[in-house]
Amino acid sequence: GGDERVEIRTAPVTTAEGTPIEVAANVGQQADLAAAADHGADGIGLFRTEFLFFDRASPPDEDEQYEAYREALATFPDGRVVVRTLDVGGDKPVGYLDPADDENPFLGERGIRRSLGPDADVFETQLRALLRAAATDAGGRLSVMVPLVTTVDEVVAAREAIESVAAALDAAGEAYATPEFGVMIETPAAALLAEPLVGHVDFVSVGTNDLAQYVMAAARGNRRVADLADPRQPAVLRAIRRGVAATEGTDVWVGVCGEMASDPAVTPLLVGLGVDELSVAPASAPRVKRAVSEVRDDAARDLAERALAAGTREEVAAVLDGTVS
């Protein structure tokens, strides 16, 4: 039931058989940071930096961002903080950065496309702030993640941007560290290309909100097509699995940071699919941690296999409900 009180666990959790699963939190506004800590999250799995850019007339400068990232790190002295570089456009408009004439912003210049194009200066400032924050002893480990990737070239270019910022900081004698680097798998292209992408990153995180939207050609947030833009659609599940499978046998870790991860009813499925980390709404962390602790690895793998074999959303739902075995 939604109102029942669930114990807050501050320690990391494992499945019933001892497989460690990191349960981190999504942060999309300032208040989420304290909420994440209060609910026992292990760290931040998705820090949506857009909120630093909303409701103002120009981007926050390097020092303002540096302080914001330091604060996130200080909140989780023993954890990992995954900061996503700016993901504007589509459902995340930032007036002073968005192109005025883009007829279809969801398929236009958004996310990493802007950072590698017209907003390269904004990207550079953000990377400088991130690499400087990574060097401080403010607390946890910093990871940098880029959104809406569709090609290997974008990943290579993003890494080069980080390297060139590192070289500039080095030349200026400023303290910096090179953070762990990852990409979101939230487009069909990234899921289909997961194998080559994995060769260029330390981690991937599956964004099931955009992945469902783009796999199903059904806008997120449009109630008329909500049944289609649903991660329980077999096509979406197969895309998720493809992203996860590409990390198997590598050192690359894989998380899920879409809304789906916040639902404890799908925790066994996601663990069974092979994920290492779940990044959830702060208030969901206690329930998801409890769900992880109850997972039996073999049963979860079997559940995932049956869900992947299903041909309709209803069949997937029935497998999750345990009414089909």
- Which chain residues interact with ligand PEP by CB under 6 A? 46, 48, 186, 207-210, 257-258
Position 263 contacts Mg ion (CB under 5 A) = no
Q: Is 37 a catalytic residue?
A: no
φ/ψ of residue 293, rounded to 5: -65, -20
Q: How far apart are CA 312 and CA 192, in angstroms?
A: 21
36, 206, 257, 281: the active-site residue: 257
DSSP labels, 131-178: HHHHHS-SSSEEEEEESS---HHHHHHHHHHHHHHHHHHHHTT-----
Residue 265 tokens read as 């009813």
Binding site residue list for Mg(2+): 186, 210
Q: Considering CB distances under 5 to 8 angstroms, the limit depending on partner class, which of ligand PEP, Mg ion, none binds residue 82? A: none
CA atoms within 13 A on the CB side of 140: 24
Residue 172 tokens read as 């200026």
Position 111 contacts Mg ion (CB under 5 A) = no
**Stretch touching Mg ion by CB under 5 A, among 89-97, 154-162, 203-211, 265-273:** 203-211
Q: Which of 42, 98, 109, 186 binds Mg ion (CB under 5 A)?
A: 186
H runs (alpha helix) in the chain: 30-38, 62-75, 112-115, 120-135, 152-171, 188-192, 194-198, 208-216, 234-245, 267-273, 285-293, 297-309, 313-321
From the CB of 246, what's the least distance to ligand PEP, in Å? Answer: 18
For the chain, how big is the Rg over CA atoms in Å? 19
Report the relative pairing of strands 253-256 and 203-206 from DSSP bridges. parallel
Q: Considering CB distances under 5 to 8 angstroms, the limit depending on partner class, which of Mg ion, ligand PEP, none binds residue 119? A: none
Q: Which of 42, 109, 210, 277 binds Mg ion (CB under 5 A)?
A: 210
From the CB of 213, what's the least distance to ligand PEP, in Å? Answer: 8
Q: Considering CB distances under 5 to 8 angstroms, the limit depending on partner class, which of Mg ion, ligand PEP, none binds residue 19? A: none
**207 vs 264, which CB is nearer to ligand PEP?**
207
Q: Considering CB distances under 5 to 8 angstroms, the limit depending on partner class, which of ligand PEP, Mg ion, none binds residue 208? A: ligand PEP
Q: How many residues are there in the chain?
A: 325
**15 vs 279, which CB is nearer to Mg ion?**
279
**10 vs 222, which CB is nearer to ligand PEP?**
222
Distances (CA, A) of 14 to 19, 250, 276, 317, 321: 5, 21, 10, 25, 23
**41 vs 169, which CB is nearer to ligand PEP?**
41
From the CB of 16, what's the least distance to ligand PEP, in Å? Answer: 28
Q: Are 292 and 21 in contact (CB under 8 A)?
A: yes
Binding site residue list: 48, 84, 186, 209-210, 220
Position 207 contacts Mg ion (CB under 5 A) = yes
Terminal CA-CA length for the chain: 24
Q: Considering CB distances under 5 to 8 angstroms, the limit depending on partner class, which of Mg ion, ligand PEP, none binds residue 136? A: none
Position 50 contacts Mg ion (CB under 5 A) = no
**79 vs 231, which CB is nearer to ligand PEP?**
231
From the CB of 117, what's the least distance to Mg ion, in Å? Answer: 18
From the CB of 257, what's the least distance to ligand PEP, in Å? Answer: 4
φ/ψ of residue 249, rounded to 5: 75, 10
From the CB of 42, what's the least distance to ligand PEP, in Å? Answer: 17
In the chain, the largest separation of any two C-alpha atoms, in whole Å, equals 63
Annotated catalytic sites, by residue? Answer: 257
- Site residues (CB under 5 A) for Mg ion? 186, 207, 210
